Amino acid sequence: MFRLDADRAVEFCDGLRRRDFLHAGTLPLLGLGLQQMFGLKALGAVDQKKKETNCILLMLVGGPSQLDTWDMKPNAPIEIRGPYKPIKTNVSGIEISENFPRMAKHADKYALVRSVYHTAAAVHDTGHQMMQTGRLFQGGVEHPHFGCVLGKLKGPKGDVPPHVLLPRPIGNTGGNMPHGQNAGFLGKMYDPFVLNADPADPNFRVPDMLPPDYLSALRVDRRKNWRELVDKEVSKFETSQDARLLDSTFHQAYTLMSSQKAREAFELHREPEKIREKYGMNRFGQSCLLARRMIEAGVRFVTINMFETVFDEITWDIHGSKPFSPISCYKDLVGPMFDMAYSSLLEDLHDRGLLSETMVVGFGEFGRTPKVNPAGGRDHWPQCWTVLMGGGPLKGGQVVGSSDDIGGFPKDNPVTPAMIAATVYKGLGIDLETELPGAQGRPIPLVDRGNEPMHQLFVG
Amino acid sequence: MRFLIFLLPALLAAQQLSILPASVELTHREARHQLIAEAVRGGYQQDLTRQAEWSSSNEAVAKVDAKGIVTPAGDGEAVITAVSSGAKATARVKVSGYAAPFTWSFSGHVIPVLTKMGCNQGACHGALAGKNGFKLTLRGYDPEVDYDTLTRQAAGRRVSLADPAASLLLKKATFALPHGGGKRFSTSMLEYRVIQEWIANGAKAPQANDPVVTGLEVYPKSAILKPGDEQQLVVRARYSDGRVQDVTRWTKFSSSSEGVALVDDSGRVKVTGAGEAAITLWYSSRVLYARVTSPFENQVSAADYQHFQPRNYIDELALTKWKSLKLAPSKSASDAAFLRRAYLDAAGILPTAEEVEIFLNDTAPDKRAGAIERLLRRDEYADYWAYKWSDLLLVSSRKLRPNAMWAFYHWIRDSVKENKPWDKFSREIFTGSGSSRENGALNYFVLHKDTVALAENVTQAFLGQRLTCARCHNHPLEKWTQTQYYQFANLFSRVGQKNGDRAGETVIYAKAAGDINHPRLLRPLAPTPLDGKSMPLDAAADRRMHFAEWLTSPDNEYFARNIVNRVWGSIMGRGLVDPIDDVRATNPASNEELFDAVVKDFVRGGFDIKRLIRTIMNSATYQLSSEANATNQADNIFYSKYIVKRLPAEVILDAMSHVTGVPTAFSGYPAGTRAMQLPDVRVQSRFLSVFGRPERIICDAGERSQDPSISQALHVINGDTLNKKLSAADGYVALFQRLGLSDSRVLEHLMLSAYGRYPAEEERKQMLDALNKARVSGTTSEAAKEARRQAMEDMVWAMLTSKEFLFNH
Q: What average pLDDT does range A92-106 have in this prediction?
A: 97
At B483 the pLDDT is 85
Q: Is the pLDDT of residue B546 over 50?
A: yes
Yes or no, beta carbons of B717 and A140 under 8 Å apart: no
Dist. CA A125–CA B702, nearest whole Å: 14
The answer for B 457-496 residues in CB contact with A (under 8 A) is: 466, 468-469, 476
CB within 8 Å: A236 and B809: yes
Q: Does B803 touch chain A (CB under 8 A)?
A: yes
**Residue A12 confidence (pLDDT) above 90:** no
CB contact under 8 A, A139 and B256: yes
Mean pLDDT, residues B519-538: 91
Residue A210 touches chain B, beta carbons under 8 Å: yes
The mean predicted confidence, pLDDT, of chain B is 92
Could you tell me which chain B residue has the CA closest to the CA of A227?
Answer: B798
Residues A346-398: pLDDT tens digits? Answer: 999 999 999 999 999 999 999 999 999 999 999 999 999 999 999 999 999 99
User: Nearest chain A Cα to B721, which residue?
Assistant: A208
> Is the CB of B259 inside 8 Å of chain A's CB atoms?
yes
In chain B, which residues have their Cβ closer than 8 Å to the Cβ of A240? 636, 644, 807
Q: How many CB pairs under 8 A join A and B?
A: 197
Per-residue confidence (pLDDT) for residue A23, from 0 to 100:
35
Rounded to the nearest angstrom, the minimum Cα separation between B763 and chain A is 8
Say whether pLDDT at A32 is over 80: no
What's the rounded Cα separation, in Å, for the pair B769 and B765? 6
A203 touches chain B (CB under 8 A): no
- How does the average pLDDT of chain A come out, rounded? 86
- Give the separation between CA A439 and CA B443, rounded to whole angstroms: 43
Proportion of chain B above pLDDT 90, given as a percent: 80
Q: Which helix (H) or strand (E) holds B276?
A: strand B275-283
Query: Mean pLDDT across the stretch A97-109?
Result: 97
Q: Give me the residues of B, 716-745, that contact A with CB < 8 A.
A: 717-720, 723, 727
**Which residues neighbour B153 within 8 Å (Cβ) at sequence distance 6 or greater?**
none
Q: In sequence order, which residues have a C-beta less than 8 Å from that of residue B358 and are 6 or more positions away?
A: none
Percent of chain B with pLDDT over 70: 97
Inter-axis angle of helices B402-417 and B422-430, nearest 10 = 150
Instruction: Tell me the per-residue pLDDT of B786-797, one tens digit each, with 9 for 90 and over.
Output: 999 999 999 999
Locate the chain A residue with the closest alpha carbon to B277.
A139
Average of pLDDT values for B388-406?
Answer: 95
Give the closest of B259, B626, B770 to A226, CB-based.
B770
Per-residue pLDDT, A37: 38
A289/A155 Cα distance (integer angstroms):
24
Question: Omega of the bond prior to B112 within 30 degrees of 0, cis?
Answer: no
Residue A219 with chain B: CB contacts under 8 Å:
790, 794
Question: Which whole number is the average pLDDT over B195-204?
Answer: 94
Q: Which pLDDT tens digit goes with each residue over B712-724? A: 999 999 999 999 9
Q: Give pLDDT, residue A38.
A: 37
Where does residue A254 fall: left (phi above 0), alpha (psi -120 to 50 degrees), or beta otherwise?
alpha
B794 touches chain A (CB under 8 A): yes
Q: Are B260 and B242 in contact (CB under 8 A)?
A: no
Q: Does B804 touch chain A (CB under 8 A)?
A: yes
Q: Provide, as residue numbers in chain B, all residues whose Cβ is less than 8 Å from the Cβ of A441.
A: 273
Chain B hits for A438, Cβ within 8 Å: 259
**Minimal-distance CA residue of chain B relative to A220:** B717
Under an 8 A CB cutoff, do A223 and B715 touch? no
User: Which of B128, B259, B645 lies at the smallest CB-CB distance from A440?
Assistant: B259
Residue B50 has φ and ψ, to the nearest 5°, of -80, -20
pLDDT of residue B457: 92
Contact A139 B697 (CB under 8 A): no
Task: Report CA dihedral (B720, B721, B726, B730) to the nearest 10 degrees.
Answer: 100
Residues B91-146 have pLDDT tens digits of: 999 999 999 999 999 999 999 999 999 899 876 788 767 778 899 988 888 899 99
Residues of chain A found within 8 Å of residue B803, distances taken between Cβ atoms: 231, 234, 237, 243, 246-247
The DSSP bridge partners found for residue B645 are B808
Per-residue pLDDT band for B12 (boundaries 50, 70, 90) equals low
Interface of A with B in 366-405 (CB under 8 A): 369, 381, 383
Q: Does B769 touch chain A (CB under 8 A)?
A: no
Q: Is A6 an 8 Å CB contact of chain B?
A: no
CA distances from A220 to A231, A421, A457, B282, B768 (A): 16, 42, 49, 59, 19
Give whole-number Cα distances, A359 to A273, A363, A432, in Å. 26, 13, 17
Contact B126, B137 (CB under 8 A): yes
CB contact under 8 A, B807 and A243: yes
pLDDT of residue B35: 96
Q: Does A323 touch chain B (CB under 8 A)?
A: no
pLDDT for the residue B778: 65
Q: Which of A398, A397, A401, A441 shows the shortest CA–CA distance to A420?
A: A401
pTM: 0.84
Q: State the pLDDT at residue B776.
A: 76
Judged by a CB distance cut-off of 8 A, whether residue B802 touches chain A is yes
B-chain residues within 8 Å CB-CB of A254? 717
Phi, psi of B715 (to 5 degrees): -70, -40
- Chain B touched by A356 (CB under 8 Å): no
Cβ separation A237–B713 shorter than 8 A: no
Residues forming a β-bridge with A59: A305, A363
SS3 of A131, please? helix
pLDDT at A27 over 50: no
How near does any CA of chain B get to the CA of A396, in Å? Answer: 30
pLDDT score at A28: 36
Of A175, A231, A257, which has the smallest distance from its Cβ to B468's Cβ? A175
Question: Given 3-state DSSP classes, what are the helix, strand and coil percentages for chain A, each rounded to the nearest 5?
Answer: 40, 15, 45
Q: How far is B302 from chain A (nearest CA, A)?
A: 24
Residue B257 has pLDDT above 90, yes or no: no
Summarised one tens digit per residue, pLDDT across range B321-367 is 999 999 999 999 999 999 999 999 999 999 999 999 999 999 999 99
> Any chain B CB within 8 A of the CB of A253?
yes
Measure CB to CB from residue A226 to each of B476, B700, B795 and give the nearest one: B795
As a whole number of angstroms, the distance between CA A117 and CA A71 comes to 14
pLDDT-derived band at A44, boundaries 50, 70, 90:
very low
Q: Which residues of A touch B634 (CB under 8 A)?
A: 239
Tell me which residues of chain A, numbers 120 to 179, contact chain B at a CB-CB cutoff of 8 Å: 120-122, 138-141, 161, 171-172, 174-177
Q: Which of B121, B633, B710 sits opposite A249 (nearest CB)?
A: B710
- What's the pLDDT band for A20 if we cut at 50, 70, 90? very low
Residues of B in contact with A201 (CB under 8 A): none
**Average pLDDT of the residues in A72-95:** 95
Q: Could you tell me the pLDDT band of residue B481, with boundaries at 50, 70 and 90? A: confident
pLDDT bucket at A6, cuts 50 / 70 / 90 = very low
Taking the Cβ of residue A208 and every Cβ of chain B, the question of whether any pair is shorter than 8 Å is answered with: yes
pLDDT, tens digit, for every residue of B16-66?
A: 899 999 999 999 999 999 999 999 988 899 999 999 999 999 999 999 999
Confidence of residue A1 (pLDDT cuts 50, 70, 90): very low
Q: Quick check: A230 and B767 CB within 8 A?
A: yes
Smallest CA–CA separation between A232 and chain B, in Å? 8
Q: What pLDDT does B124 receive?
A: 79
Mean pLDDT of A165-174: 88
A-chain residues near B252 (CB < 8 A): none
Residue B527: φ, ψ to 5°: -60, 125
Q: CB distance B710–A256 less than 8 Å?
A: yes
Closest to A181 in 3D by CA, of A161, A196, A164? A164
pLDDT tens column, A214-244: 999 999 999 999 999 998 767 788 888 888 8
Residue of B nearest to A171 (CA): B703
Confidence band for B405, pLDDT divided at 50, 70 and 90: very high
B427 touches A at CB < 8 Å = no
Q: pLDDT at residue A438 above 50? A: yes
